[in-house]
Structure 1
Amino acid sequence: MGHPVGHARRHSLAQRRRSVGLSQDELAHALGIERSTIVRWEAGRTEPQAWVRPPLARALQLSEEQLDDVLHAESASPDAVDRRAFAGLATALALAPLARARTGSQIGATQVRQLRQRTARLRRLDDHLGGMDTYGVYTSEMDATAKLIKTASYSSTTARALTGVFAEQAQMAGWAAFDAGRYVESRRHYRAALSAAKESGDPGLEGNSLAFIAYEKADTQTAAQSTRVAGTRTTPRVRALLHERLAWAYAVSGQVSATARALDAAVAAVNESSHFPEPDWVFWVDPLEIDIMAGRCYTELGRPARAVPLLDDALSRYDDTHSRDKALYSTWLAHALMDADDPERAAYVTEHAIDLASGVGSVRPGERLRGVLSRLTRYGGPEVAAVLERARG
């Protein structure tokens, strides 16, 4: 669908490129320039020179005047907004008032449903924010639910449901702590989630708690236990999530065949149809997610011929607004490209990952990027030198 001329000012350069269906590589090829140049334009570090503006405008289906509007609107694009300011706004929206039960009051299905809906809204903060931004929000919500469990009156059915909600919230708090580099807290929250999940009688929640515990240290035994606990009593996307995390644990330990079997199980599960509703905590699990995990696994196994096509395709469909995750996944692509002896492209990918990771409230992109940059020092060439110089600056 085309975009009305009068709306051009609303788009940043990156947004406009995506709206006409062009990847950065495709736009660079159409203009006869390097992809790294497109990356610099979209990051706002440089502007297109006069000679390239006419063909750029044509490629983006704009007049040159409209292109000028887009370029000048770049600083107001969502990518340039202070993520901390967005964190405050998003958190305020997610924390729409919810009436809390008074001490000793009777609660039932209505209050549990409201609590689940609230938890789902909070969970989506993780799409755009890091654990440094969300940890306090998640722990406060978890603590409030724990207090409700201790002080309110309810039936045994409601008790199991409340405990299940607490398990979800403890998993969210554990993930945020892990993302923020607070590993002692993350393990504590995951253990609390596992205990609550067992008490709730939900095998999927129990399996997911075990998978979270396994993910931190790529523990194959605990990851395998998570799939056994869940068994076939859970929905397809839950099984897909647990099997992809099992695949990750196998890949990190270098078990090629076991990794492939777990990935095959994840693919089969995610493509399975079901009449039962999926829990909200797997809302993000889809074939794209499985492709990304497969690419990461094959990178860890030193199989760039498998990893690069998977990650190239998946990341081309992954929006830059998911900046933390896309920055992270790009580091696996960079490693795979170096394994494939393509340091020039690895440098381009790394530069874009640096842009994406800027200001993200997570320790993980920085940790991953340090490993990529250290490895890039082994290579020469102007593209590699440029990204290394930028990293030093």
Structure 2
Amino acid sequence: MRRVGLLAQWRQTAGFTQDKLAEALGVDRSTVHRWEAGSNSPRPWQVPLLAELINRTPIEVQEALERQSGASEPVINPSGVVDLPPGELRMVLLDLERRYDRVPSSSLLADASQYFARLDRLGRQLRGGKEQQAVLALQAEAATLLGKLVWDASQRRDHAGARRYYSQAAALARRVRDPELESHAFLRSSYIDLYGTRDATTGLALAEAAVRRAVPVSPALASLALLHVGEAHAMLGDRTACERSIGLAQDQLGRIDTGSVNGLVSPDQVGRLAGSCYLELGQLRRAQDELETVAGILGHSRKSRAIVLGNLALAFIRQQQIDGALAVLDQAVDELEQTRGGGGMNLVFAAARELRPWRQEVPVLDLQDRLLSLMAAP
């Protein structure tokens, strides 16, 4: 009789078939099958949700995956240098991803750069086979993370540096034939055009390319990409196309377990992006309603919450609701003092600029003092 692996045992104990677990994770059943067979591993952002669903800790899940893949011993590359097995290398990446939303990106750049360089050396020294494929896939993920860190740490100003990493991630993803990794790199690159250069046409093309690659392999990633397609349409003033894209995103989201928080997208993110779309379209009351709801439930992502609060402040200001704007800006600054997220910083300062007609009022002066302190902080 064929021995059932530990991951499969945990899945069965938790009451999941492979089909149901795949649905909850937003992946294909064949993906779950490959994880349990030890021929592939989840992405770092998938491990926490997988662990939650099968009632285990992320560390337990990662250890089980390593045992199934046979990665229990250090890799000795052709130069004789001992390195960590792919499973342990993945745990390093998972730790960096977890820390991203809790601390300033500038504090992670050195660790992430060293990690990327380590993967690059190991990938060059290995000569084909499963181990090299695993290392190259990790390197693609690390390149995407570095692009995100570079852009965030520069307060969304270093477009060229971030693009270089995203281009490298996409090239590595094509090399290992991984459309999900390539989609993620394209999507992250679209953010530069949507929120950095404000080139909605280019951002739309990149987000649509991300959708095409994600739809066959990841409903979660496809949903996230479609939300940004909708935002690009909103920036271009096309309400009909925007709402159609949001509807398609919800269709993709319906293919995963909406009661669980996915590492890439969750139901509250639909509200977050829809609120941003309505703000772009000048539908201020609808934007306010969406963003207020999301701000009340979005506690797991501090950088994202600062962005939501920044957009909500803009909706309040444009409706002449200054007290409401000041209240949410105060909350946004609380978040930014901990994370200094580039997206949140840009939106909060944009909102502060729109408060100029009220600049002599005491509460606005108090906010300006907080923003000056935020700028002066190391």
TM-score normalised over the length of structure 1: 0.66
Q: Distance in 2 between matches of 1:105 and 1:111?
A: 16
How far did residue 364 of structure 1 move? 3.6
Within the alignment, does 1:177 sit opposite 2:150 as a pair?
yes
Within the alignment, does 1:119 sit opposite 2:93 as a pair?
yes
Q: Distance in 2 between matches of 1:367 and 1:254?
A: 22
1:160 aligned to 133, 142, 147, which one?
133
Name the SS for the 1:128 alignment partner. coil
Q: Distance in 2 between matches of 1:361 and 1:348?
A: 19
How far did residue 373 of structure 1 move? 0.7
Q: Which stretch of the first structure deviates more once superposed, 157-166 or 203-212?
A: 157-166
How far did residue 345 of structure 1 move? 0.5
Q: Distance in 2 between matches of 1:234 and 1:254?
A: 31
State how many pairs are aligned: 286
Gaps of 5+ in 2: 1-71, 195-202, 374-378
Q: 1:101 is matched with which residue? A: 75
Q: 1:331 is matched with which residue? A: 310
Q: 1:305 is matched with which residue? A: 285
Identity, % of aligned positions: 20
Q: 1:252 is matched with which residue? A: 235
Q: What letter corresponds to residue 348 of structure 2 in structure 1?
A: L
Q: 1:242 is matched with which residue? A: 225
Q: Distance in 2 between matches of 1:389 and 1:185?
A: 32
Question: Runs ≥4 in structure 1, deviation > 6 angstroms?
Answer: none
Q: 1:316 is matched with which residue? A: 296
Q: 2:45 is matched with which residue? A: none
> 1:66-215, aligned counterparts within 5 Å?
101-104=75-78, 111-155=85-129, 157-181=130-154, 182-215=158-191
How far did residue 138 of structure 1 move? 1.6
Q: What letter corresponds to residue 296 of structure 1 in structure 2?
A: S
How far did residue 105 of structure 1 move? 7.1
Is the 8 Å Cα contact of residues 210 and 222 (structure 2) preserved in structure 1?
no
Q: What letter corresponds to residue 191 of structure 2 in structure 1?
A: Y
How far did residue 154 of structure 1 move? 4.3
Is the 8 Å Cα contact of residues 347 and 376 (structure 1) preserved in structure 2?
no
1:217 aligned to 163, 184, 193, which one?
193
Q: 2:248 is matched with which residue? A: 265
Q: 2:211 is matched with which residue? A: 227
Q: What letter corresponds to residue 134 of structure 2 in structure 1?
A: A
How far did residue 228 of structure 1 move? 1.7
Q: Distance in 1 between matches of 2:213 and 2:282?
A: 31
Is the 8 Å Cα contact of residues 106 and 154 (structure 1) preserved in structure 2?
no
Q: Distance in 2 between matches of 1:337 and 1:330?
A: 10
Is the 8 Å Cα contact of residues 229 and 245 (structure 2) preserved in structure 1?
yes
Q: 1:111 to 1:351 in 2, by over 3 A?
A: same
Q: What letter corresponds to residue 180 of structure 1 in structure 2?
A: A
Q: 1:296 is matched with which residue? A: 276
Q: 2:320 is matched with which residue? A: 341
Is the 8 Å Cα contact of residues 251 and 259 (structure 1) preserved in structure 2?
yes
Q: 1:176 to 1:305 in 2, by over 3 A?
A: same
How far did residue 174 of structure 1 move? 0.4
Q: 1:356 is matched with which residue? A: 335
Is the 8 Å Cα contact of residues 226 and 245 (structure 2) preserved in structure 1?
yes
Name the SS for the 1:285 alignment partner. coil
Q: What letter corresponds to residue 306 of structure 2 in structure 1?
A: A
TM-score normalised over the length of structure 2: 0.68
How far did residue 201 of structure 1 move? 0.8
Is the 8 Å Cα contact of residues 357 and 366 (structure 1) preserved in structure 2?
yes
Q: 1:100 to 1:247 in 2, by over 3 A?
A: farther
How far did residue 310 of structure 1 move? 1.1
Q: Deviations over 1:18-61 (max 9, x none)?
A: xxxxxxxxxxxxxxxxxxxxxxxxxxxxxxxxxxxxxxxxxxxx
The structure that has the greater radius of gyration is: 1
How far did residue 249 of structure 1 move? 2.3
Q: What letter corresponds to residue 90 of structure 2 in structure 1?
A: R
Q: Distance in 1 between matches of 2:340 and 2:362?
A: 31
Is the 8 Å Cα contact of residues 101 and 148 (structure 1) preserved in structure 2?
no
Gaps of 5+ in 1: 1-97
Q: What letter corresponds to residue 244 of structure 1 in structure 2?
A: L
Q: Distance in 2 between matches of 1:180 and 1:392?
A: 18
Is the 8 Å Cα contact of residues 90 and 138 (structure 2) preserved in structure 1?
yes
How far did residue 273 of structure 1 move? 3.5
How far did residue 99 of structure 1 move? 7.6
Q: 1:371 is matched with which residue? A: 350
Name the SS for the 1:201 alignment partner. coil
How far did residue 250 of structure 1 move? 2.3
Q: 1:266 to 1:351 in 2, by over 3 A?
A: same
Q: What letter corresponds to residue 123 of structure 1 in structure 2?
A: E
How far did residue 382 of structure 1 move? 5.4
How far did residue 169 of structure 1 move? 0.8
How far did residue 193 of structure 1 move? 0.3
